[in-house]
Structure 1
């Protein structure tokens, strides 16, 4: 019996080693769930004001905007909103074959004068991010200060063509803070309080005056702050918009919605060349 045990042990060891050598080990990361959703390319265009004067880096003419939209439609693109992105990432709702997002920052008066009529005419959607302080000042003024008032914000929200998002209440300025970024040496708790008071106040205003609660935050001047992203996610934002250029590649990972890239559209450039960037 002892002799049998002595013979069997080496055989078992050899067998074990042979089995181990034949096994196809995977990287440890393979044990984590991986999205099976196909990768979707999403270009986002960033506009600001639409006007007939002072055309330049941040102002395009109504004709340029309309021709852009006609071009995109002819190329097979379908405009989507932040709500559509959330439905895709969280509920597996499919996006159009060639999605594109059109965004306008700051909430200029042209949102109602030019943008909404063009969207209606071509049955397209757009995202407009407003600065609360500008809207309040316009509402209190007896003359237009270049921005929409709360009545006009409500008109945009009630239309099926515009989605309103948060662009801070009063942090749209290059002061010591530089937008809504954290100041060097500032404590996290103090910073968090200031962000929540400013951004949260505008959230409350928009909900109170329109019934809609914004789901995305647009960084002033595109100055992204990792601490701010954390706070925004904590208080209920699903996405943030940056000013970095590039096409967004979406695979179903919800974190992909933070720091979305956008292409700034200036006036007076070759339209075809501008939109060809999306295909690179």
Structure 2
């Protein structure tokens, strides 16, 4: 009887160890799937590949051959006399075109990881950005993102959160709801949208640092990507971004983004309410425009 008890206890200990081992394997597999998840039709992407995971490693291998188109939008309402709005149904048709042609939207955390740490992007990666933080993005764009399971990055002017005027801006609650969906990443477009190409060092520092601090309180994650207001910057601006923890920044341009342009001067292509679906497709299928289809009013 005593021997039987010893055998029973030993058997239970072995089973407990096996179950713990199998449980750890399962958890590791789930973590790996979640870390590698992208915005394909199989589920929401995370704020990925949280760039903090990569920034602390020494395994850096810049990928200068990688090219990813970045689209630049602003208002999601029609704006008479202002080309930076969108026609009724325009974004829906463009989102449908991207889905039909096999494009996969990604965020800047994924782009950074792919540019420097061999992160594997999905086929036909693309980034969609909305500047400034208009409330129309929540009202008109967010439902479309959920329909197609697509991502966007909102470059938010931090001091404009909850601002009411001619064009209402996004509220903290709206930003948090979109962030929590896994489809929207909020990053910095400065604090007050000044010209950083001519701003004093003190002003530029305040715009860059204050915006990240304020947006981190709203989003709950570090702010690591920047969009220059109106595409204006200088060498001091870039150094300030580096010193304050930003990994990538965008300017206006005509080609897909590439490290060959510089990590703090990545090109974006502006989409206007005058941009036809044919021109939209031409840009993506032929690697960019040599000239923009319209002039840039503000950004």
For residues 79 and 62 of structure 2, the distance between their equivalents in structure 1, rounded to whole angstroms, comes to 48
Determine which structure has greater relative contact order: mean sequence separation of CA pairs < 8 Å that are 6+ residues apart, divided by chain length. 1
Unaligned runs of at least 5 residues, structure 1: 1-33, 174-178, 184-190
Residue 60 of structure 1: how far off its partner (Å): 0.6
Task: Tell me if the contact between 1:79 and 1:99 (Cα under 8 Å) persists in the aligned partners.
Answer: yes
- Equivalences, count: 227
Please report the TM-score for the alignment, with normalisation by the length of structure 2.
Answer: 0.70
Larger radius of gyration: 1
For residues 246 and 89 of structure 1, the distance between their equivalents in structure 2, rounded to whole angstroms, comes to 16
For residues 264 and 217 of structure 1, the distance between their equivalents in structure 2, rounded to whole angstroms, comes to 16
Residue-by-residue CA offset, 1:229-250 (whole Å, 9 max, x unaligned)? 1110111000101112212235
Residue-by-residue CA offset, 1:245-278 (whole Å, 9 max, x unaligned)? 212235xx8x842211111111133212332123
Residue 207 of structure 1: how far off its partner (Å): 1.4
Where in structure 1 do 4 or more consecutive aligned residues deviate above 4 Å?
34-38
1:182 to 182, 191, 198: 198
Aligned position for 2:251: 242
Task: Tell me if the contact between 1:56 and 1:268 (Cα under 8 Å) persists in the aligned partners.
Answer: no
Root-mean-square deviation (CA, aligned residues, Å) is 2.3
For residues 239 and 112 of structure 2, the distance between their equivalents in structure 1, rounded to whole angstroms, comes to 18
1:128 aligns with 2:137: no
Unaligned runs of at least 5 residues, structure 2: 1-59, 288-299
Helix, strand or coil: the match of 1:197?
helix
Residue 51 of structure 1: how far off its partner (Å): 1.1
For residues 53 and 118 of structure 1, the distance between their equivalents in structure 2, rounded to whole angstroms, comes to 20
Please report the TM-score for the alignment, with normalisation by the length of structure 1.
Answer: 0.74
1:224 aligns with 2:240: no
Helix, strand or coil: the match of 1:101?
strand
For residues 119 and 166 of structure 2, the distance between their equivalents in structure 1, rounded to whole angstroms, comes to 41
